Every structure is written in structure tokens, then in C-alpha cells.
Structure 1
Amino acid sequence: MGLPVIGKPVTIGKDEASLDLEDEYVNSPSKRKIAISTLEGELDGEIGEGAKFIRMFLLYAFGVFLFPNSGRVVNGRYMSYLKNLDAIKEYAWGLALLEHLTICITERKDHHKTYIGGCLIFLQIWSFEHLDVARPKFQLNSLTFPRTCRWEESKTTTSKIKDEFERLTKNKVN
């Protein structure tokens, strides 16, 4: 996905520093969650193009795309990583995405949750590259990024995918 996996760790602890912006948008100070709907409203409004807009957009991307969960909220503690916008590239966001997805899949498995959180687009791309199940046809073209451009559009049905997973063997995993 083009996110760095080497760099400063992204850790969301209970005592992460806050920004005034977080205080303005959190639903509950004890939980420090910002509703996605609040971010959508801000992005649709007259927020402008400055640092506040960039922070709101990144929080929205965190909550909807990179670190989604079932609650349609984003952890306000991510704001601590948005204080210095120039330093964002120093963090291992790809590793954080993988860790979050792993936690979400484990919770789904261990607690029988009906929702899988995490970046499912990453999981889909990974499965195309590593599992010989419902993989679309590989395209030979010069596009290598985004990685989804490597495959032709596919219209595989859920029942076909389930059947293929049932027949999956070790020799079909790369």
C-alpha cells in the first residue's frame, strides 16, 4: 500500500499527548473517540486547506480506511502523531496497519465477532498475492502502484470463494 514499515513505532497508549483539536472533537473524554460523522461534517464544511484540514483528512483516513472498527469512530490519540505534519513520514504506518488488522482478526476469531475491523483492502491484496483462491487474472502492465492495478476486474461470487477456500491446500499458498 506504499506505507512505510520501518520507522518510529505507532503506539496508541492511554497517556498519549493531546492536541486542542482533539479536545474539540472527542465524544467522551475518557474514551477519546472522534465520530467519523463529525470528521465528515468538518471536511464538508468551510475548514479550508491548512493544517487543520490535513489533520481532519488524515484522521478520517485512519478511521475509515487504515484502522477502521465497528463503531464508526477513530481513536483521538492518533492526534498526537499529527502535531508535526512533517514528521508523519517518520512513522511505520504499514506496520501499525498490519498490527491493527492482526488484532481485529484475532478478536473476530476468539470472540466470535460478526465484524472484522482493520484494513480489509490490504488483506484482499495480500490474499491475491499469496493465496490461489478467487485470484483475479494478473495483468501485465507498467502499473505497479497502487497494487490493485496488477489484477483485472473480477466478478467472483461469495459461494465460489467459499468453495475454493474449502479446497485450499498448502501447495496453493505462496
Structure 2
Amino acid sequence: MGLLAAPNLSCSKGEFSLRMFQGVALVVETMHKDREVAGCAPSKFYNFIKKVNLKDKHIKVLEDTLFKGFMHFPKFLVQRTFLNTILTRWDDEHNCFLLGGKRIFFKPQDIAVILGLSINGEHIDLRRELSASEKELKKKYFANVLLKRELIEENIKNLLEESSEESISDFAKLFILYLFNTILFPITSETTPIFLLHYVNELKNLHSYAWATAIWTFLVRSISESLRKKKKYVNGCVMVLEPWLHEHIILLSWLSTKMVYPRILRWVDSSYRQTGMHKKFLDNLIYTQIIEDITPTNEESHLLPLTDASSSNREIRQWLEPILLKIDEKIVTSNTNKEIRQWLEPILVRMEEKIVTSVKEYFSIHGIPDCDTFQLIMDNECPQQKNSYDCGLFVIKFMDCLSQGEILF
């Protein structure tokens, strides 16, 4: 058994918290092959659902719920070595990970895109007390004991043998409770948080809640608590962290070219998830290799609250993506810089025109006058940086000079 090595970071308030993970027993230790790390156990969920062999009547009632996609969720193992690696980089003050010298924020929107669950809807109270009808449901299947995983499994098996309308409805409630227990709100003691009984008790209302936000809150609170109290475990849906990292590192994001819904299904292939691979990437990562935000596709956009600004930004990035791929291909196949520049010039003009058009639309929506008179001016004499990383400083200085009247067109 070996303790985690803390990264060599300066001792600012936010970054100092990372060093505390050195004493946390999120350690590399010998484990049985079938044992899941932490409380999150997606492979256990997969094995159980496959074993019980759901009947058509039970599949039908689940198809009418928000969580129907999890009936066909593939086997996904949460890797302890990966969690050890990523959690040493957690900045508890800012709810972010320190990657390549940058703060990359972990947000509810990321959970929404990865799991296909919305952040729109009513708030979920993680400390809610049960009503009388919810206490009846607990008494019916759990008596006065905790909502343990094995007891949920036993009740599901029994309900699969019954055919009454009530038993089929109760099966759906316990199926979703089992999903919460093993994947979305797991606890290492294999018990289910009691507040969740309120939300499964009314199946027809499941879609009206902000599930992605609740899953994010539950997970972040657990990471923070494990850090502060030096606990030996992390509760919550830790399985999203590996897909999250893949989506944020350029070289890792290219490992899977397919785009599927929900996004986590891009990363179930074990060939993308080699032991030790993530540590090598993170130890040598620089900020230019980082994707700061996960850009949602059109299919994923309904999961997020749309604003005019985010919609315009998404439109630009979706338009740019295929062009940037072509640029990469051209750079690989070209022999000279001159050839590359000649090929790029008309494309860059189109890119700038598209960006200006989107900015004009944004200004018009927000009532900024005379935006239609704005012109695209390309200044070939503008000073250029001589490296690949100082462009931001040059742009800021250019705008400063423009605002002072030192540059005239």
C-alpha cells in the first residue's frame, strides 16, 4: 500500500488543499477483480440487470421514465488508479481541477452532457424528509432498516414475479432506486440516501427535476468532504470523471472520433482507458493541450439553459470544427509553410466573416445600435507574435492601442 504523492504546487489557499490528499487513503491497494472502487458501481448495475432478465411489461414501464436509457447501459468499470490520479488535482476552493497549469472547472453542465440528464427543472433537496406516502413505500419494502443495495436487489427479483399494476409500478420505483444506489448517488456503505424515496415515489414527475445539478452537487460535496476529513473513499457518481477528462484534453478527445448520446458512451471501450495512461498525460500536460469547455451538440442542447451568447458561441465552434480538422490534415501533408499559408488564407477570411456575422446578430438582439454598419477590416500590417502562445497578449495590446486612438483605419 502506498500513499499518493502530492503535486509540487505553490501554497495559495486554493492549491494548498491539493496537498492534503497525500494523507487521504485513496490509495493503490490490492483489490479483488470484481470489486468496484468507491461506492459507484456501474458494472454491478450492469451485471444485475443482465442477470434478472427484464420482461416486456417491466421494460415498457421503464420506457416511460426519464432514466430509460440506463436499461441498456454498457459495462463500465471505475478505475481506482484513475481516481487516485485525478483527485490529487482537485482545487476545493474553486470546484475545479488543475490541469496543465490552468483551472478547468467541473460544472453541472458537464454532468448533463456526459450522462444525458438535464440541469433544467425543479431543485432537488438532498436533505428532504419523507412524507407519509413515502414512509409507507419504505415500510413496505425495507421495514425499519436502511435502503441497502442487496435488499433492493431482492425486492426487484420478487416484483419481477408479480404482474399486478401496483407491483409493476413499484418495480420501476425500485429499479430507479437501484440506479441511484449503484451509479448516480452511490455511497460506499451501499445504502441509498433516504431523500431519494421522495423522487421515485411519483414516477410521472421524474422529468421535472434538475437531475444533473443534484448529481454534481452530491459528488462535489463528497470530494470536498473526503479531502477535508481525510476519508478513505469518495461517494457520488465518480464514473463521470474519466469521460470528463477525456473530453477536456485534446489528444485524449481524439481517441474516439464518434459522437454518441449520451457522451459517456464514447468512452466505454476499454481500449481508450489504459492503466497508467492518464498519469503520464497529466504529468506532462501543458495548457495549450486543454479544452476548457465541453461544447454541446445540437442533440445535447436541450439539456442546458440556452442563452443568446452561448447559442452564438456554440454555432461558431460547430462551424469551425470541420475546418480545423482539414487544417490539421493540410499541415501534415504540406511540405512548406508558404503552401500552408496560401491554402489557409481564404479559409481564415471565411472564419472571420462568420464570427463577425455572429457578433452582429448578438449585438442586434441586445439592442446595440448601428451594428449593421460594422465592417470587417483585415490589417496585414498588424504585429504578429513569433511563437504559438503569445497571441492573447498581442490582441490585448492591439485593442489597447485602438482604444487610445494610436491605431487608425
- With the length of structure 2 as denominator, give the TM-score of the two structures: 0.38
List per-residue Cα deviations over 1:73-113 (Å, max 9, x = no partner): 10122111122210110001111111111112112222222
Greater helix share, structure number? 2
Residue of structure 2 in register with 1:118 after alignment: 236
Letter in 1 for 2:281: E
- TM-superposed CA distance for 1:27, in Å, is 5.1
Letter in 1 for 2:180: F
Residue 72 of structure 1: which of 179, 185, 190 is its match? Answer: 190
Letter in 2 for 1:45: N
Residue of structure 1 in register with 2:156 after alignment: 43
Q: Is the 8 A contact 1:133 1:168 kept in 2?
A: no
CA distance in 1, matches of 2:229, 2:254: 32
State the SS of the aligned residue for 1:74. coil
Q: Is the 8 A contact 2:255 2:272 kept in 1?
A: no
- TM-superposed CA distance for 1:169, in Å, is 2.9
CA distance in 2, matches of 1:53, 1:46: 6
Q: Is the 8 A contact 1:16 1:77 kept in 2?
A: yes
Q: Is the 8 A contact 1:144 1:150 kept in 2?
A: yes
Letter in 2 for 1:154: S
Find out whether 1:19 has 2:135 as its counterpart.
Answer: yes
Residue of structure 1 in register with 2:281 after alignment: 164
Q: 1:120 to 1:27 in 2, by over 3 A?
A: farther
Letter in 2 for 1:9: H
Please show how residues 55-134 of structure 1 align to structure 2 within 5 Å: 55-132=173-250
Residue of structure 2 in register with 1:2 after alignment: 116
Q: Is the 8 A contact 1:6 1:91 kept in 2?
A: yes
- TM-superposed CA distance for 1:136, in Å, is 6.5
Question: Greater relative contact order (Cα 8 A, min sep 6): structure 1 or 2?
Answer: 1
List per-residue Cα deviations over 1:9-49 (Å, max 9, x = no partner): 11122534233111231654xxxx40011001111224446
Letter in 2 for 1:111: K
Q: 1:159 to 1:50 in 2, by over 3 A?
A: same
- TM-superposed CA distance for 1:126, in Å, is 1.3
State the SS of the aligned residue for 1:154. helix
Identity of counterpart residues, as a percentage? Answer: 23
Q: Is the 8 A contact 1:134 1:156 kept in 2?
A: no
Q: 1:136 to 1:26 in 2, by over 3 A?
A: farther
CA distance in 1, matches of 2:230, 2:199: 32
CA distance in 1, matches of 2:247, 2:214: 20
Q: Which has the larger radius of gyration?
A: 2
Find out whether 1:150 has 2:266 as its counterpart.
Answer: yes
- TM-superposed CA distance for 1:162, in Å, is 1.9
- TM-superposed CA distance for 1:133, in Å, is 7.2
CA RMSD of the aligned region, Å? 2.3
- TM-superposed CA distance for 1:165, in Å, is 1.9
CA distance in 1, matches of 2:251, 2:230: 24
- TM-superposed CA distance for 1:135, in Å, is 5.2
CA distance in 2, matches of 1:109, 1:173: 25
Aligned residues: 168
- With the length of structure 1 as denominator, give the TM-score of the two structures: 0.83
State the SS of the aligned residue for 2:147. strand
Q: Is the 8 A contact 1:4 1:92 kept in 2?
A: yes
Q: Is the 8 A contact 1:34 1:73 kept in 2?
A: yes
State the SS of the aligned residue for 2:173. helix
- TM-superposed CA distance for 1:120, in Å, is 2.1
CA distance in 2, matches of 1:106, 1:46: 38
Q: 1:92 to 1:155 in 2, by over 3 A?
A: closer
- TM-superposed CA distance for 1:147, in Å, is 1.6
Q: Is the 8 A contact 1:35 1:74 kept in 2?
A: yes
